[in-house]
A and B are shown apart, each in its own frame.
Chain A
């Protein structure tokens, strides 16, 4: 086991280095001048040139990258051009909000996905099944930008049930709903499929035959077995959300990291782009290692290799 963990950690470290080199290369060859974007339209070419050299952007790629990497290894992700503060500080002030939103979105996914999936599976092809699967299709395909604005308009503006923006538990409901609805729909479909399969198994038939109540069949026998794939999905959800939650953050003004990343890209803020990419990659690597290891611990069919 320790050897396996060590191997996975080393692989993870290697991917981090690879990701940072590729990202830096992409920014380096981007047809846009970070110094010009920093200086704005009124800066004279002379001023732009001075700023470029002050930022070290006139150096060749390997010099720039190795400077970045050496400082990065000491935990210093640099100084954001636009925000005028250390990148680590900027990200750390935003990351918790993103993680809270992702967590809330996952809760929404589960609250929608599991009951709807089971209800559909219990009566396949019934009206409930058809309606909920239609809604699931809608939820999975509604663009978050549109969905968010629609929810805001009706539930926030028209009915005044929720605040229109700001930060707090009440403000978390609509973004979590917007972010979680699509995933909830997928979960419902998955849950339906696996429930239908499990309902056909011998042990369910046995349980029913020996007179176990339907509620108990669902709780004790069905849920345990149907939740396996869902747990895997949650593990995959974290990285997925890290890449996609930005739309939701933008609509609701949630002060998360996604918005930070988008603003960084628009202004070609090199240290901040690098910082958000590296931190995101770091989280993805860690969560995939944790998922893999917990899998091997939970499921004897998965061999450590």
Chain B
């Protein structure tokens, strides 16, 4: 029994992309690949890891034979082709379509110039072959995302746009019922093919439960897991209470919360000003304001990400040096500027902390406190806001590869209207390096390559990395699982691996 505040949107794997429905979709559906207890890929619907061509462009999968959809039909290679084509079809309106536009012919298909996607083929009943237009070693990670999960064509045809409310897949649990605004129920799939999973007979997800109430219900034993993060006020209380603390599972989140510095807005076009900002922010105080939920950041990649640079020390906290850098840049008296910040707790408090920090070096910081949708819109419009605090909107990885922190956040292609490159930074050299790294199958070379790339971003001071997040979950002592099953970096909750006394 799990409780969430917001209603679930949809369980269609091609569409659902929320904090809450992401792990629930994995109850009903599977992909070719999935992650083990850590971040290593392992085969799920595939019968072994795929053959990868030496240019990292062609990926050939053998399917596990005899896997049945929950309606009884056997899964074949045609289903994989159908599901992947469905995701890139604009009619499906999949938010994840962009992950698969690198498949040969995907763009032509999406533009209506081709009837099928050339690079997705089924040579026989149990073989699937993907051909990419450009080399991309992260393609396998992308195949492990929910968007690439396999759906049966006949069920999608039967329910049309409402497939997400009547999901049928191959997964560890069977969808049982959905009472809008109240609950969703899944039952164990007795015929599940993988690793003796799942252990639980039933998973009930209740929605509409405010976090303040969820925590009371947990203490009474009415629910087993609280799906939403623990409210800030309750967190201090739990930390102080040994009994409650036992119910807390803490895992690092693969995220970096940062201040994006708009490199196209004066005076932030001057690298010295951006560096000064990096030295002026007291990151330790931010973590303290968050009741210790997180660790301070000195670089863009989070510690769990390959390419994280242990040796790199980052900018030191030194208002004096920041002040002299500002003077060198021609602003001895400082200046006035604005930061966009979402208006839900605790973000305004953190922005006020930045305000204090910057006032010490003579910068008068105005806080623009807005709804998250408006912050996203303004940040993605060129020249609209000088600084953006990404707290509450922060980038959490989609897959464990450093490219996921470069392409969407700092590449030229994302520095466009509606993009997520809120630093509006565009460096053609770095883009070239990144493309080369995507084609490299040498893991060691990739790590050093990305270290250099992200170090350049820090030298250019395109952002102030402030802290790496932490995922706290409160659960009943009766519910068991490995730590990674409560806060897996890709899954968050892993329902299939939990068990109850």
Contacts and interface: CB of A to CB of B under 8 A. Distances in A.
Nearest to B212: A149
A20 interface: no
B407 to A, nearest CB: 9
A64 B6 CA distance: 29
B193 interface: no
A64 to B, nearest CB: 17
Contacts of A39: 17, 95
Interface stretch (B256-264, B285-293, B375-383, B453-461): B375-383
A28 interface: no
Interface in B5-37: 6-7, 9-10, 12, 15, 17-18
B395 interface: yes
A82 interface: yes
B296 to A, nearest CB: 23
B91 A54 contact: yes
Name which of B110, B213, B220 has the most chain A CB atoms within 10 A of its CB: B213
Given A84-B12, A165-B217, A253 B208 contact: yes
A161 B202 CA distance: 28
A218 interface: no
Contact of A44 (B217, B377, B408): B408
B238 to A, nearest CB: 15
A186 interface: no
Interface string B35-61: 000000000000000000000000000
Interface in A219-258: 249-256
A196 to B, nearest CB: 41
A267 B98 CA distance: 21
Given A149-B212, A253-B213, A94 B180 contact: yes
B182 interface: yes
Contacts of B93: 38, 50-51, 54-55
Name which of A37, A153, A251, A253 has the most chain B CB atoms within 10 A of its CB: A253
A135 interface: no
Interface stretch (B125-133, B318-326, B410-418): B410-418
A285 to B, nearest CB: 25
A43 B161 contact: no
B368 to A, nearest CB: 11
Contact of B213 (A32, A164, A267): A164
A84 B162 contact: yes
A44 B181 contact: no
Given A84-B161, A85-B165, A259-B181, A42 B95 contact: yes
Nearest to B370: A31
Contacts of B119: none
B95 A84 contact: no
Interface residues of B, number: 59
Interface string A79-97: 1001111000010011001
A39 B97 CA distance: 10
Given A31-B378, A51-B93, A94 B181 contact: yes
A39 B15 CA distance: 8
Contacts of A45: 413-414, 416-419
Contact of A153 (B91, B216, B416): B216
B346 interface: no
A93 B222 contact: no
B221 to A, nearest CB: 11
A37 B95 contact: no
Given A94-B180, A165-B213, A40 B95 contact: yes
A85 B416 CA distance: 32
A284 interface: no
B420 interface: yes
B165 A43 contact: no
B181 A51 contact: no
B398 interface: yes
Contact of A255 (B164, B181, B393, B408): B181
Nearest to B10: A84
B374 interface: yes
Nearest to A50: B90
Contacts of B97: 43, 47, 50
A12 interface: no
Contacts of B417: 45
A177 interface: no
A83 B216 contact: no
A42 B7 contact: no
B445 interface: no
B210 A251 contact: yes
B7 A83 contact: yes
Contacts of A267: 373
Interface string B189-205: 00000000000000000
B206 interface: yes
Contact of B217 (A164, A250, A251, A260): A164
A167 interface: yes
B386 interface: no
B209 interface: yes
B101 interface: yes
A46 interface: yes
Given A85-B165, A255-B208, A164 B98 contact: no
B180 A90 contact: yes
B393 A251 contact: no
Interface string A143-158: 0000001001100110
Interface string B417-442: 11110000000000000000000000
A263 to B, nearest CB: 6
B237 to A, nearest CB: 13
A48 interface: yes
A41 interface: yes
Given A37-B373, A85-B162, A268-B373, A93 B180 contact: yes
Given A45-B414, A79-B161, A152-B216, A254 B98 contact: no
Contacts of B416: 45
Contacts of A47: 94-98, 101
A36 interface: yes
B243 interface: no
The 3 closest A-B pairs by CB, nearest first: A255-B181, A44-B98, A32-B373
Given A33-B377, A41-B393, A85-B162, 8 more contacts: A36-B418, A40-B18, A41-B395, A44-B414, A46-B98, A84-B9, A152-B216, A263-B6
Interface of B: 3, 6-7, 9-10, 12, 15, 17-18, 90-91, 93-99, 101, 110, 161-162, 164-165, 179-182, 206-210, 212-213, 216-217, 219-220, 222, 371-374, 376-378, 380, 393, 395, 398, 408, 413-414, 416-420
Interface of A: 30-33, 35-51, 53-55, 79, 82-85, 90, 93-94, 97, 149, 152-153, 156-157, 160, 164-167, 249-256, 259-260, 263, 266-268
28 contacts: A30-B373, A38-B93, A41-B408, A42-B95, A42-B99, A42-B398, A43-B97, A45-B417, A46-B98, A47-B95, A47-B98, A53-B90, A79-B161, A82-B9, A82-B10, A84-B162, A85-B161, A94-B180, A160-B220, A164-B220, A165-B213, A251-B210, A253-B206, A253-B207, A253-B208, A254-B208, A255-B208, A263-B7
